[in-house]
Structure 1
Amino acid sequence: MPAPPLDDRIRSRTGIIATLGPATIMPGVLKQVVEAGCRIFRLNFSHGDLEDHRRNIRDVRALEAEMDIPLALMCDLPGPKIRVIEVAGDGIDVEVGEEVFFDRDQSSPCVRIEQEPPVLGCTWTGIVDCVKPGDRVLINDGAVRLLATEVSDGRLQCRVTTGGLITSHKGVNLPDSELDIVVPTPRDMELVAWAIKNDVDLVAMSFVRSPEEIERIRSIMQDNIDGTGHERPLPIIAKIEVPPAVASAEEIIAAADGVMVARGDLGVEMDLAQVPIIQKRLISIARKLDRPCIVATQMLQSMVDAPVPTRAEASDVANAIFDGADAVMLSGETAIGRYPVLAVETMQRIAHESEAWLDSSDMVCCDPVDDSDDQAVDDTHALVAGIHSAARSVRAKCIVVFSEWGTWSRLISRGIDSLPIVAYTPRQSVVRQMLLCRGVIPELMEVVPDEAILSRDAQHRLADVGWIDEGDAIIVVLGRPLKHDNHSVRITVHRFGDGGRA
């Protein structure tokens, strides 16, 4: 078995996710992005076709084999994103006080006719039925703002409250309206069935509003799992980006396998001043429920065009890490930006410095996880607390865990200690999925070991890369899959070089 990748000694504990796009398909860029510290790549299914995504998957897997470093792929489903249809020319410029119509039957490119209010079409014709007078209609992330005034004869009439340019395919947000939209959409269902058959590791679900929607996606994957090589559905990351999801956050996160704080639409759908508070709350809930959390959107947005981020952006990344995020995500910075490699290097540097400050100042990245009223969860947390307590008592250099499905490595990573967690599993897909958990360094071990074999192999491999010296302690954890009524794990302390065990 190969030794743990040397770069994992200096790579930040916080994961970095890079969105694939035109900027990353340039020769050599993808490899440089990995060398800069990225281990998870996002496939944005809102853009590109399946052939583009198939090529990106092929390129990432080829690079994974070449560099002998596990790399995860996360597909991001488009969800029921509402957009303006094609707008002719350079777009339609609207001014404050002007009238704008949405027409149910408008399908041809929208053209402005002189002396007449502009008439727009929408990818979702239900906008005419669900938007009521007094509701806001926001276009292009709120850059253009309208207020609905009347609905009649298949048309929604609006008044412009903030003017600007309306161009083709810009997003439409309806924060005040109750939308009669089924999630997942038919397109989501097609794409998730395609993803599980095409070597994707994680699924991000957009515009989630209820835990039942999570279960629908999981059921679709289960129905399409035969012949894929997967034994269970892919982990689902719930994107919290609309008010109903914020209201039901705890139930949604409990139903999902992870959560993404999707601040783009969240900042449009809700008061911008509330977004930082919502972010902290979502990270806290995720930690309480033992789910990994991603913070996303505009983290280093200025680096789309500039080689250096703003000071506010650097602080934004650091504060997400201080709050306990497992991963931070780059979107346009790596998909279409001029400096994709530099953006990853910058995020890696901010993460590394933030974590170093936490370690040196004895600060913790977040509050300890609260006890739960659920007895089963309490038992598991007690075992995890025991693992961290033992590690502190013997000043262990790291925690080594055999985690067949990644459960114990994920639970241990919820602790507030900064020790690296070297996690072994016999499943390549689980190796990749564990990359999402903060501080976990996943490794493939094709045989299920006993405690002596796991300890011996781990000690030699860690010594080979300079992680441990003679007499240093490591904590070795062997857990069995969690049952509803039986929680047990074997915890031993090993010191390198003397064959001892405490």
Structure 2
Amino acid sequence: FPIVLKVTKRLSEEELECEVLVGGIVSERKGINTPELKVPLPALTAKDKKDCQFVCQGKFADFIALSFVQRKEDVEELQELMKSSLPEGAPMPKIVCKIEKQQAVDCIDEILSLSDGIMVARGDLGVECSLHKLPGYQKFLIYKANMARKLVITATQMLESMIASPAPTRAEVSDVANACYDGTDAVMLSGESAVGNYPVETVSMMGEICSEAEKSVGQLSIEMIDYRNSEQGRLKFRHAIAQSAVETAEDTGADAIIFFCEEISVAYDMAKLRPKSQFW
């Protein structure tokens, strides 16, 4: 359980007096959460910048996750750092913003417009905002990402009991399935696979739950996203191709859509429309 302190007095610029609400032992390298408080700190620390430069210069990463995003300027700062660090002609890694602050929820449209995807990081988000708001925030954030046609990952405590148990609870099974029904693109394990006793079994279990949920997700999910809902004026050519292919598959009940094209962006555009048919 987290240690909870209540600030009762400011002693100096660097010291606070606190009342212990929930006590315990503080070990090293632990994070600090300040619920509903906008922290005037940059999103990237000196170490973050050094790490980003390392992975960009070595072309080691396909994705870079940005923690504790609060505003669009945080994403812009990372973009500029990546551009200046990449070798000439190297592809830009995709940016996934971890939504862990109330401020990020409030600015989600701006954050989505600049990033390639978001992670619903339920651990810190559940501390930073009121815990009872978390289920609604999860659905809201997934919906927003779906409408923006951006990647969305749901993470934290999905099969937490499998750290020590070979089988999940019924509530955890429902949690993973409901994330699929909500429209998430990916579900992520943390401690279950990092330090758990049953990492392989946990991954297998999550895969089975997702596969079963996806059999009915077409009947339970929102209607197919339409590029025309958000385009200004005419559709872009590649969006028109993607939408036509997906609509044809839907109308004819095709079992699969097979993609042959050198321009991979069209494949991404098709996938973002979430066709019911298998997509290869």
Match of 2:154 in 1: 295
Cα distance in structure 1, aligned partners of 2:15 and 2:191: 35
Shift of 1:378: 5.3
Name the structure 2 match of 1:223: 84
Contact 1:237 1:256 (C-alpha < 8 Å) held by counterparts:
yes
The answer as to 2:244 corresponding to 1:411 is no
2:193–2:200 contact (8 Å) kept in structure 1: yes
Residues 348-387 of structure 1: pairs in structure 2 closer than 5 A: 348-358=207-217, 363-369=219-225, 372-375=229-232, 383-387=241-245
Tell me if structure 1 keeps the 8 A contact 2:192–2:198.
yes
* Residue 273 of structure 1: how far off its partner (Å): 1.0
The CA deviation at 1:406 is 3.5
1:211 matches 2:72: yes
Describe the SS at the equivalent of 1:299. Answer: coil
Matches of 1:312 and 1:367 in 2, distance apart? 27
Q: Which residue of 2 aligns with 1:321?
A: 180
Q: Which residue of structure 2 aligns with residue 388 of structure 1?
A: 246
| Change in CA separation of 1:303 and 1:403 when aligned onto 2, cut-off 3 Å | farther
Shift of 1:405: 5.9
Q: Which residue of 2 aligns with 1:264?
A: 123
Note the alpha carbon deviations across 1:369-400, whole angstroms, 9 max, x for none: 36545415855665543222211334333222
Give the residue type in structure 2 aligned to 1:349: E
CA RMSD of aligned residues (A): 2.2
Residues 257-280 of structure 1 show CA distances to partners (whole Å, capped at 9, x for unaligned) of 111101110000001111111111
Which whole-Å deviations, capped at 9, do the CAs of 1:411-459 have from their partners, x for residues lacking one?
211334321222xxxxxxxxxxxxxxxxxxxxxxxxxxxxxxxxxxxxx
Map 1:236-275 → 2, pairs under 5 A: 236-275=95-134
Q: Could you say which residue in structure 1 is the equivalent of 2:136?
A: 277
Counterpart-to-counterpart distance in 1, 2:234 and 2:130: 35
Q: Call closer, same or farther: CA 1:330–1:373 in 2, change over 3 Å.
A: closer
Shift of 1:180: 2.1
Give the 5 Å matches for 1:47-446: 143-153=2-12, 154-196=14-56, 197-226=58-87, 231-358=90-217, 363-369=219-225, 372-375=229-232, 383-402=241-260, 404=262, 406-422=264-280
Query: 1:241·1:261 contact (CA, 8 Å) conserved in 2?
Result: yes
**1:85-142 superposed Cα distances (whole Å, 9 cap, x missing partner):** xxxxxxxxxxxxxxxxxxxxxxxxxxxxxxxxxxxxxxxxxxxxxxxxxxxxxxx6xx
- CA shift, 1:303, in A, is 0.9
DSSP 3-state at the match of 1:149: strand
Structure 1: give runs of 5+ residues left out of the alignment: 1-139, 423-502
Larger radius of gyration: 1
Shift of 1:363: 0.6
State the Cα distance separating 1:224 from its structure 2 match. 1.6
Higher relative contact order (CA closer than 8 Å, sequence separation 6+): 1
Matched-pair contact (CA < 8 Å) for 1:298–1:330:
yes
- Judging changes above 3 Å, is the alpha-carbon distance between structure 1 residues 403 and 332 closer, same or farther for their aligned structure 2 residues? farther
Which TM-score applies when normalising by structure 1?
0.52
Partners of 1:374 and 1:277 lie apart in 2 by 28
Q: How far is 1:199 from its partner?
A: 2.1
DSSP-derived class of the 2:68 partner: coil
Query: Which structure features the higher share of strand residues?
Result: 1
Q: In 2, Cα distance between the equivalents of 1:160 and 1:144?
A: 8
Partner of 1:76: none
Compared CA separation, residues 282 and 376, structure 1 to 2 (3 A): farther
SS in 2 for 1:375: coil
Equivalent residues of 1:175, 1:269 under 8 A apart: yes
**Among the aligned pairs, what percent are the same residue?**
35
Distance in structure 2 (CA, Å) of the matches to 1:345 and 1:364: 24
Tell me which amino acid in the other structure corresponds to 1:363: Q
Question: Scaled by the length of structure 2, what TM-score is found?
Answer: 0.90
What amino acid sits opposite 2:187 in the alignment?
A: V
